[in-house]
Chains A and B, each alone.
Chain A
Amino acid sequence: MTTATPAGQVEGLGTVRSPDKAPKRGRSKRTAGEGRLAFILIAPTIALLGVVVGYPIVKAIYQSFLTDQGLDKATGFFNQGGMWTGVTNYKYWLLEKCGSSHCPPGTFGAQFWASVGFTLFVAVVTVTLETIIGMIFALMMNRAFKGRGLIRAVILIPWAIPTAVTAKLWSVVFDPQGILNHVIGAHYQWTSQTWPARFAIIIADTWKTTPFIALLILAGLQGISHDLYESARIDGATAWQRFTKITLPLVKPALAVAVIFRALDALRMYDLPAILTGGANGTTTMSILVVRQLQATNTNSASALSTITFIFIFAISLALVKLFNANIVGAQKPAKEEK
């Protein structure tokens, strides 16, 4: 990654620039005007995100420390809810504590850790599968051949279908009397046994979102100059070497964004398992628990679960950002020189 490209000898969009080269100008000429420019360019993003996402998140986090309405177990009276209760809601989920005892099986609280495990499992498997298949797809579509434009558009179809419909579509396919059993000549109860149900969710999600990753990688591949491959070939690099030494490093910025955002989505997966399996048979994701708790009008407890989910996902994203050395933390050495 040390290809400090001399100005004017740019090989293509994907060319990696040494990170400490560009900012020099800006730093030496930094003025009050620069600060104002930063504000003008970035403020709209902060404002829009603050209004649409920021306020609801802060509100939900505040609510997670309040009681829900319901019968108060200690007094037997109806409790209006909304009282400060500290971390009781968090204990309910994290320690599976209902009052002073352990939550009985069947309550939402008792399903918390199982849902964490399943959510992580599905996220890891689907994102891995989608990345590998998406990469293969993108590499294929990057070649010029007849009908390539058509194939690109066709590949996009699964992504363009609303998730609820996707889930219904796959429930038709996985139906015991459905087309899949018809084709393979079997009688599996796909969606009502633990592992087939999990398998079904993974297939449906991979089908739906691989196009997203493929398209992102493809857009990244567009920028890599053919000359690079040509000269590598002349130097006798094998196809695998060309892939690992040229393609992967140059496509990494786009790939990192694709994987990180896919992982965030997969960790919040709701519609697909909710409709396909109803969350039964060990397919309850954390999001399904949140929605169930909301439907039981335990809004504040659901907010606590969302906050826990949020912290989980935040930790995982930080790890991914570090892993990919994404262009936000890793390459940013000169930051401390800033004034």
Chain B
Amino acid sequence: MTAVTADTTPKRGADHHRRAAGPPRSTTRGRTILLAFAAYVIAMLFVLPYAEMVITALRPPRELNRPGYLPQHWNFSNFTTIWKTGFGGNLGASLKIAAGATVLVLLVSLPAGYYTARRRFRGRTLFLLLVLATQMFQPAAMLVGIQREFISFKLPSPVFSLILVNAGFNLAFAVWILNAYFSSIPAELEEAAMVDGTSRLGAMWRITFPLALPGIVTALIFTFIGAWNEFIVALTLTLGVSNTQTPLTVAINSYIGQYSVDWGHLFAGAVIATLPVIVLFAIIEKHVVSGLTAGSIK
């Protein structure tokens, strides 16, 4: 033991010395290690409540009221029996709705965000404020209108209605964030490419979009999570629909009864429900980084 400490002390001292006199790079690295450590600690703090959720899902029912960090017996049945309640169908419905809404939002918001960033047209401020204003009303208070409207549309299934509603609910954010990103990319870049013989569309596609990729991915993730978690409208528009075809949030909420809560299934369902979002993000996150290094900074 003493040998180890004796071994490390002088090293640290040398490090100190070098840091004081040497180039600033070593300070940066020391700070990065410190920051990484702090990041791990905070990340831990953020994950702890989630861990509590996973543990509760794995707790046998008779141990629910027993204090203690870990259950004495691990019970995986919640994760297997939940599929018998039609959870697979719920997962499918949520995936369809979130994916549909995300695609729709990107298709609609990309042109709008690009145009508002590039052109100071008349009514631009009004347009952006109106878009923002759609985020200011209580969803609960819009239910009556939405319900009546979508009944009259006679869409083949609530999935279509919910794709439209969720796209509408998240469109404002997408337009605003894309406007901010496109604005921060100098138009001169596109113009330079056009001088070199690229078409306007080509310049947009090859220069601007890759540079705006972090913004595009943010809009994508935001819409997906927003649609994935939407509850009130989903509950209203799926009234009378079979339990196995409602979105996840409605299904999970049905485990919360008026007098008792099915904690095991509630939390097992929630744990499963977070996985697709994490997987999606893990895939996309790489694309942000690669898009950046491939596209712009030299």
- Using CB atoms and an 8 Å cutoff, list the residues of chain A in contact with chain B: 5, 7-8, 10, 12-17, 21-23, 25-26, 34, 37-38, 40-42, 44-46, 48-49, 51-60, 63, 136-137, 139-141, 143-149, 151-165, 168-170, 172-173, 177, 179, 182, 207, 210-212, 215-216, 219-220, 222-223, 225, 233, 250, 253-254, 256-257, 260-261, 264-265, 268, 270-271, 287, 290-291, 294, 299, 302-303, 305-306, 309-310, 313-314, 317-318, 321, 326-329, 332, 334-335, 338
Question: By the criterion CB–CB under 8 Å, are B35 and A290 in contact?
Answer: no
In the bound complex, what is the Cα–Cα distance between A146 and B32 (angstroms)? 10
Our pick among A16, A34, A52, A335 for the contact of B124 (Cβ within 8 Å) is A335
- Using CB atoms and an 8 Å cutoff, list the residues of chain B in contact with chain A: 24, 32-33, 35-36, 38-40, 42-43, 46-47, 49-50, 52-53, 56, 65, 67-69, 104, 107-109, 111-112, 114-122, 124-125, 127-146, 148-149, 164-165, 167-169, 171-173, 175-177, 179-181, 183-189, 191-192, 211-212, 214-215, 217-218, 221-222, 225, 228-229, 231, 248-249, 252-253, 256, 261, 263, 266-267, 269-270, 273-274, 277-278, 281-282, 285-286, 288-289, 292, 296-297
Which of B24, B136, B261 has most chain A Cβ within 10 Å?
B136
Question: By the criterion CB–CB under 8 Å, are A143 and B136 in contact?
Answer: no
Interchain nearest-CB distance for B283 vs A (Å): 10
Which secondary structure dominates where chain B touches chain A? Answer: helix
Known contacts A55-B149, A145-B39, A233-B24; A264/B135 CB under 8 A: yes
A-B contact number at CB 8 A: 342
Question: By the criterion CB–CB under 8 Å, are A157 and B278 in contact?
Answer: yes
Our pick among A44, A151, A222 for the contact of B112 (Cβ within 8 Å) is A44
> A157 contacts which chain B residues (CB < 8 A)?
46-47, 50, 274, 278
Question: By the criterion CB–CB under 8 Å, are A45 and B144 in contact?
Answer: no
Known contacts A48-B108, A219-B215; A165/B145 CB under 8 A: no
> A37 contacts which chain B residues (CB < 8 A)?
115
In the bound complex, what is the Cα–Cα distance between A289 and B85 (angstroms)? 34
Known contacts A44-B111, A162-B248; A290/B49 CB under 8 A: no
Our pick among B122, B169, B175, B228 for the contact of A160 (Cβ within 8 Å) is B228
16 cross-chain CB contacts under 8 A: A12-B296, A23-B120, A41-B115, A42-B111, A45-B175, A57-B137, A145-B36, A147-B36, A157-B46, A159-B225, A160-B273, A164-B252, A169-B267, A261-B176, A306-B137, A335-B124
In the bound complex, what is the Cα–Cα distance between A189 and B147 (angstroms)? 40
Which secondary structure dominates where chain A touches chain B? Answer: helix
> A10 contacts which chain B residues (CB < 8 A)?
186, 188-189, 296
Our pick among B138, B186, B285 for the contact of A17 (Cβ within 8 Å) is B186
Known contacts A145-B36, A153-B281; A45/B109 CB under 8 A: yes
> A291 contacts which chain B residues (CB < 8 A)?
140
> A158 contacts which chain B residues (CB < 8 A)?
46, 49-50
Known contacts A8-B188, A12-B296; A162/B252 CB under 8 A: yes
Question: By the criterion CB–CB under 8 Å, are A26 and B215 in contact?
Answer: no
